[in-house]
Amino acid sequence: MRLLLDLLFATALGVVLLARVTEPRTLWLLRGYLTLVALAWVVQRYANLPLTSKLVDALVLACSLALAILWQGELRRLMELLGTGRLDVLFGSQRGDKQASGSVAVLSEAAGRLSQLRRGGLIVLDLGSDLRPEDFLNPGIALDAQLSVDLLLNLFAVDTPLHDGAVLVKDNRILSAGVILPLSRQGLNRFGTRHLAALGITERFDRCLCIVVSEETGTLSMARQGRLERPITSRRLHELLSEAMAQTPKGAAKQAGRSVALDPSDSSP
């Protein structure tokens, strides 16, 4: 009976962990790690192989340390959610997605107008990653203002002190501006700073999107789960945002696996 309960609880924990991960590469790592842990348990319990058991335990420990380094941000977030009792975020509540759905038209229009003006822009849309100030290199200036086209255009005006950073949007509100995002290491020779920042934040958090407007060419792009789709129109951006907000976690995982067109010609920030 005790063994059955142990297996049930372990299986339930594994299902919860796998269900919360939608980025394919992270999912593969987690599956491999859980498989290795299960193998170590089987060897210890049912096989009288002391040396093999020691080797498997050492391998599990090494992998645990490696994953702790790779996923330090996610592990910190997990501990924060457990400590604050925010189980709705932990188990994937979609409340934030429903509240953010009204921002699609505003974001699409603002991005389109920035593109026409060839005014650089970087907008992070949090769809449930629960981004915190410590997730950024610089959290910028807190605003907590109602999302609007005019406000976005003003924030990205060239003569304003916040135009070089990103704007963080969640639940139809602009939470902060002038945010400095972590940069990605992929495409260093092909993309400018804004595009690398968009890739960097979406690589780390799979429940957020990043809209990029090139200052040099006015090209519109959208980053999601470490992938960049470009060039796109404001109409296409509207479709992508609507699709992303309507997707289930299963659909999001499928979307992440699709290849997207990369345009290396625009290296503007």
Residue percentage of the chain with pLDDT more than 70: 76
pLDDT 10s digits, 47-72 = 778 888 888 889 888 988 888 877 76
Question: Is 18 or 9 the better-scoring residue by pLDDT?
Answer: 9
User: Which domain, by its residues, includes 26?
Assistant: 2-70
**Do 90 and 79 form a contact (C-beta atoms < 8 A)?**
no
Q: Where are the alpha helices (DSSP H) in the chain?
A: 2-20, 24-46, 50-70, 72-84, 87-90, 95-100, 104-117, 149-155, 193-204, 234-246, 249-256
Burial class (CB in 10 A: 0-12, 13-18, 19+), 223: buried
Does one domain contain both 102 and 151? yes
At residue 89, the pLDDT reads 57
Of 121, 123, 111, the residue nearest 216 (C-alpha) = 121
Q: How far apart are CA 165 and CA 120, in angstroms?
A: 10
Does one domain contain both 48 and 123? no
Does one domain contain both 122 and 194? yes
- The torsion defined by the Cα of 150, 133, 251 and 183, in degrees rounded to 10, comes to 90
Does one domain contain both 155 and 203? yes
At residue 213, the pLDDT reads 94
pLDDT 10s digits, 241-266 = 888 877 634 333 333 333 333 343 34
Structurally, how many domains does the chain consist of?
Answer: 2
Instruction: Indicate if the pLDDT at residue 201 is higher than 90.
Output: yes
The lowest-confidence range among 15-29, 158-172, 186-200 is: 15-29
Give pTM, 2 decimals: 0.61
Residue 9 lies in a domain: yes
Q: How far apart are CA 56 and CA 162, in angstroms?
A: 52
* CATH code of the domain covering residue 141: 3.40.1700.10
At residue 179, the pLDDT reads 94
Burial class (CB in 10 A: 0-12, 13-18, 19+), 58: exposed
Helix, strand, or coil here: 112?
helix
- Name the residue with tokens 């210890």: 44
What secondary structure does DSSP assign to 36-101, as a single string? HHHHHHHHHHH---HHHHHHHHHHHHHHHHHHHHHTHHHHHHHHHHHHHT-HHHHTT--HHHHHHG
Does one domain contain both 124 and 238? yes
At residue 197, the pLDDT reads 93
Does one domain contain both 127 and 245? yes
Question: Is 79 or 204 the better-scoring residue by pLDDT?
Answer: 204
pLDDT 10s digits, 111-141 = 999 999 999 999 999 888 888 888 899 999 9
Does one domain contain both 63 and 106? no
Q: Which residues contact 127 (CB under 8 A, 6 or more apart)?
A: 96, 97, 100, 207, 208, 209, 244, 245
Does one domain contain both 63 and 99? no
